[in-house]
Amino acid sequence: MEGLFITVEGPDGAGKTSVINELIPRLKKIATKNIVTTREPGGSPIAEKIRGLVLDKKNTDMDQRTEALLYAASRRQHLVEIIEPALVSGTTVVCDRFVDSSLAYQGAGRKIGMKEVAQLNLFATNGRTPDLTLYLDVDAETGLSRIQNHRSMEVNRLDVESLEFHQRVRHGYIQLLEQYPQRIKKIDAKADLDHVVEDCLQVIQKYVGDKL
pLDDT in tens, 69-83: 999 999 999 999 999
Per-residue pLDDT at 37: 97
Report d(CA 205, CA 184) in Å as an integer: 14
- Judged against a pLDDT cut of 90, whether residue 145 lies above it is answered with no
Alpha carbon 114 to its chain centroid, in Å, reads 16
Report d(CA 41, CA 52) in Å as an integer: 9
Q: Which CATH class is domain 5-211?
A: alpha beta
pLDDT tier for residue 209 given thresholds of 50, 70 and 90 = confident
Amino acid at 113: G
- Judged against a pLDDT cut of 90, whether residue 117 lies above it is answered with yes
Name the residue among 46, 62, 43 with its Cα closest to residue 157: 62
For the chain, domain boundaries: 5-211
Name the residue among 161, 208, 157, 190 with its Cα closest to residue 30: 208
Put simply, whether the predicted model's pTM sits higher than 0.95 gets the answer no
pLDDT tier for residue 60 given thresholds of 50, 70 and 90 = confident
Neighbours of 201 (CB within 10 A): 18
